[in-house]
């Protein structure tokens, strides 16, 4: 993961230096608004508030959260794009708004030209999970079963273009197995319920959502769709270890600012958020939920967005995913 997250960083830094290199003014004393493209109470919203409070507790500025759900994140992104580029309106960017949606629909903003990256903050590793009733204990057994069944195996997701959908499409394409996508408009809750009940054959879901069912023996974690094993479930192999190195996509979240925000402000915000996100108490608390903290320079975050956008575009082209 480290090499992938860094491999475009130097190039991205060179591409984004122009126009702001001479700026010297930093943040003022007024509060900072963070536009969150999800409803209040969502997991990412809760973590966003936690990190913002830590910035304040560290002696930094105060924050207020402006929840703007809708359009898969586009409503909030457009609002942030139009804000004054002074560092006092930020956007809670995520893999959907800044790497996925541009490949499956026309967007009212440009993820690169309309924003400046500050830092990634955290990501939710995603696990390949099957119900207890499915007679498989490894990814190879799962793929063999999918190939043997005339109708294939079903996998659920929160909708077309969601991270679980893309991961399922990646696995189907790489393994050459028949996997049937079942989108859940109502979200991950009903999807996970159907998996536990045996009405789905597999899902890509999170540790926090499904570990209680794993501990009760109702589901099995076959693999993690990340570049390394998780600290909270180290016995679960990566999909690369299972023979599918191309099936990897972390559901990440970070901060970006409107285009035109001065370099000095971007650097100051980066330092504030990186320090807060690496506070030992926050790291420990989120680790219990299977959430991994991940911070870096603005250029490295820009490189991550570019790399995942390219990865998703290839999957969409290969599999014909469309947002109908």
Chunked mean pLDDT (size 10), the chain, 324 residues: 48 44 64 95 92 97 95 94 97 95 93 97 95 97 96 93 92 93 88 95 95 97 95 95 93 97 97 97 93 95 95 88 66
Q: What is the pLDDT of residue 15?
A: 47
Q: Please report, for residues 90, 118, 270, 274, the alpha-carbon distance to residue 266 in angstroms, rounded to integers and kept in the order given.
A: 10, 6, 6, 12
Q: What is the pLDDT of residue 17?
A: 45
Distance CA 174, CA 243 (A): 10
Cβ(50)–Cβ(41) below 8 Å = no
3-state secondary structure of 287: helix
DSSP bridge partners of 257: 116
Q: Which two tokens stand for residue 27?
A: 């943040």
Q: Please report, for residues 114, 206, 275, 276, 288, the alpha-carbon distance to residue 281 in angstroms, rounded to integers and kept in the order given.
A: 34, 21, 12, 10, 11
For residue 119, give every residue at least 6 positions away whose Cβ sits within 8 Å of its Cβ, in sequence order, or none.
254, 255, 270, 273, 274, 277, 295, 296, 297, 298, 301
Outline where the chain has alpha helix (H). Answer: 2-6, 9-16, 43-57, 74-81, 95, 101-104, 139-148, 163-175, 188-196, 207-215, 263-277, 280-287, 298-319
Residue 5 falls in which region: left (phi positive, over 0), alpha (psi -120 to 50) or beta: alpha
Distance CA 281, CA 168 (A): 34
Q: Please report, for residues 128, 198, 246, the alpha-carbon distance to residue 203 in angstroms, rounded to integers and kept in the order given.
A: 6, 11, 17
3-state secondary structure of 210: helix
Cβ(19)–Cβ(260) below 8 Å = yes
Nearest partner of 115 among 76, 77, 141, judged by Cα: 77
How many other β-carbons are positioned within 10 Å of the β-carbon of residue 50?
Answer: 17
Give, to the nearest 10 degrees, the angle between helix 280-287 and helix 43-57. 170
Q: How do the residues of the chain divide into helix, strand and coil, expressed in percent and rounded to 5?
A: 40, 20, 40
């Amino acid at each position: 993961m480290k090499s992938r997250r860094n491999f475009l960083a130097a190039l991205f830094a060179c591409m984004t230096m122009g126009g702001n290199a001479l700026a010297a003014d930093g943040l003022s004393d007024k509060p900072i608004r963070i536009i969150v493209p999800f409803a209040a109470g969502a997991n990412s919203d809760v973590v966003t508030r936690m990190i913002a409070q830590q910035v304040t507790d560290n002696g930094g500025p105060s924050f207020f959260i402006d929840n703007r759900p809708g359009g898969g994140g586009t409503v909030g992104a457009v609002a942030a794009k139009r804000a004054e580029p002074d560092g006092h309106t930020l956007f809670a960017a995520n893999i959907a708004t800044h790497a996925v949606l541009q490949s499956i629909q026309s967007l009212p903003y440009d993820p690169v030209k309309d924003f400046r990256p500050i830092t990634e903050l955290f990501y939710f590793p995603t696990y390949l999970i099957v119900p207890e009733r499915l007679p498989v204990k490894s990814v190879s057994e799962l793929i063999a079963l999918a190939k043997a069944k005339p109708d294939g195996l079903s996998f659920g997701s929160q909708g077309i273009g969601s991270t679980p959908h893309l991961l399922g499409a990646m696995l189907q394409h790489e393994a050459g197995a028949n996997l049937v996508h079942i989108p859940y408009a109502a979200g991950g809750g009903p999807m996970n319920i159907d998996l536990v009940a045996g009405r789905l054959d597999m899902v890509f879901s999170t540790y926090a959502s499904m570990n209680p069912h794993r501990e009760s023996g109702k589901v099995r974690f076959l693999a993690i769709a990340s570049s390394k094993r998780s600290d909270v479930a180290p016995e679960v192999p990566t999909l690369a270890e299972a023979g599918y190195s191309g099936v990897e996509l972390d559901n990440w979240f970070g901060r970006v600012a409107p285009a035109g925000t001065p370099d000095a402000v971007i650097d100051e915000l980066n330092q504030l958020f990186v320090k807060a996100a690496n506070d030992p108490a926050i790291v420990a608390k989120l680790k219990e939920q299977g959430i991994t903290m991940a911070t870096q320079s603005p250029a490295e975050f820009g490189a991550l967005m570019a790399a995942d956008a390219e990865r998703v575009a290839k999957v969409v082209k290969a599999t014909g995913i469309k947002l109908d």
